[in-house]
Structure 1
Amino acid sequence: MVILDLVFNQLLVLKIMDSFCEIIAVILGFYCFSIMLKQYHVKKSKTTIYLMIIFFTLACAPLSQFIDGLFYSGWSIHNTFGLYDVQYGYAFILISTTLANIGLLLFSVDVFLTKQEGPYPKNTKIVVIGGSILIGTLGILGGILKLNDREVTAIIGIYFVIAMIMYILLGTKAYKLSNKISEAIYKKSIKYIGHFAFSLLAIYIFFILDSFSTTYTIWGFFGWAVYLLATYLAYIGFVKPIKVRMK
């Protein structure tokens, strides 16, 4: 019994730190969303809509995890706290990140190709539309199946691979583009978008490592800690230049 209590206390400490990261990420995500909403009222554009989608869904993912752990899964000693075992939170996290990935994909093409390299060809449009449909189908289907407590490992595995490839391409593109920009604030913001992309890659890796255990592990905490970092990097990369222009 003493050993069980000790293990539970360690898990509880991790879960408290985990929840702290989730709450701060939610606050920061909705704060960034509110700024983008103000920007959209000032100047309506597709890019701003994509950013609104990204930040709203970035905030919804940790919010759903926190609510699930607080009201549905519970914090009893019988709860492993594993992300994969949190049925409702996992499902809504999957759906939220799917929408965020679609927004990020559309934003990346709109900014990195259209504005920097001229109008993109039809085959690029086909790839973007096809990629969005594929990511959307896998993510939302996986979320719905998880809500019904079905097996989703294969679907999520494919989804993770596609998403991680997208993050690597986006991060690499952002770093290359930042080297071509002379204005300091925009050079920094593009570089931070690259940091953001690779931090998303790290999040997936941490959660994959956490999924191999039957109990909540330090990898799960690292996943949410880096998620908070990623939200902050997104703020520096996407929002801060807009705040400077709004002053």
Structure 2
Amino acid sequence: MRLGAADAAELRVAVAANFHPLFEHLAVEFERQSGVEVRIASGASGALFTQIVHGAPYDLFLSADATRPQRLEQMGLTVPGSRTTYAIGVLAFWDRQLPASELRLRQWHGRLAIANPRLAPYGAAAESVLRRLGMTERLKGKLLRGNSVSQAYQFIDSGNVPGGLVALSLLKARGVPPAQYWPVPTSWYDSLEQQGVILKRTREPEAARALMTFLLQQERRLAQAGYALPGAVAQR
């Protein structure tokens, strides 16, 4: 898989906040195997999407949803046929004070951290869960919305908020004790189908394709990190 010295490349990858911790490790392995340098920019998928639309010089976009890569494709900003599902995200309820459970979430009355649903797919999923459980009115004025799911995680980790709805992958990456979190049933929110796409402005299409292929070979690592596997999910 190693590219020749004459083909040595640098890739700029825009990575959704939930995938950043795992991707950092995977990028190091890819660099070692391929000789390609990987530079990472991480943030909420919505913010990264806006940067791309306005010309940010990324080669690949690893989103936390399928919608934004699909929109970029419709705008003619992607390499045709490159849009691929690389993981299925899982939302989890994190309670720093008591063992987390469905009952604990249903009875929650305090402040709760979630990602901004306008920017982050995990925030939209969290909002859907709260609506499903009839908690929206009860928590009015008590929701602390982070610009990304990573910031929502930080609100809880810092002790500023006692609990929240965040990415399971972040909890696993940071070593949060399993008793403190409860994976929310995936039927409670729209699928967090995470898609990647190669951007048409890339000057390194071969290296970009190699990185996407490498990611799709990491099923075991993805499962260990708290993701469901794409499996038979069809590309939309």
Q: What band does the TM-score fall into relative to the shorter chain?
A: under 0.3
More strand by share: 2
TM-score, scaled to structure 1: 0.25
Q: TM-score, normalised by structure 2?
A: 0.26
Specify which structure has the higher proportion of helix: 1
Answer 1 or 2: higher relative contact order, Cα 8 Å, separation at least 6. 2
